[in-house]
Structure 1
Amino acid sequence: MDQFATKPHDALAGALHSELDAVNALIREKMVSQHAPRIPEVTAHLIEAGGKRLRPMLTLAAARLCGYEGGFHIHLAATVEFIHTATLLHDDVVDESEQRRGRPTANLLWDNQSSVLVGDYLFARAFQLMVEPGNLRVLKILAGASATIAEGEVLQLTVAQDVSTSEDTYLQVIRGKTAALFSAATESGAVLAGAPEDHVRALTEYGDALGIAFQMADDLLDYLGDSGQTGKNIGDDFRERKLTLPVIRAIAKADEAERSFWERTIGRGRQQDGDLDTALSILARHKALESTRDSAYAWSDKARAALEILPESELRDILSDLASYVVSRLK
Structure 2
Amino acid sequence: QSKRARRRRRFKMSVGGLLASADFWEKESGAPLLRRNAGFLLADEPLSAELQERVARWPALCGADSSDGTVVPEGGCEDEAALRIFLRDAERTFSDGGHQTRMIDLLKRVWPENKDYHQGLGYTASLLMLLFDEDAAVSILLELTRNERFTPGYWKAAPDAYVRDAMVYTRLIEERHPQVHALLASACLVPEAYASKWFIGLCVHVLPFAALFDFVEAFLEEGYLFLFKFSIAIVAATSEHLLQYKSTDVNKILEVLRLDIGLYPDDYEGGAFFTRLVAEAKATKLEKEQVDTLRVEEGEKLAEKMRKTREREAQLAAEESDDEIVFSDEEDD
TM-score, normalisation: structure 1: 0.29
Select the structure that is richer in helix: 1
Higher relative contact order (CA 8 A, sep 6+): 1
State which structure, 1 or 2, has the greater radius of gyration over its C-alpha atoms. Answer: 2
TM-score, normalisation: structure 2: 0.28
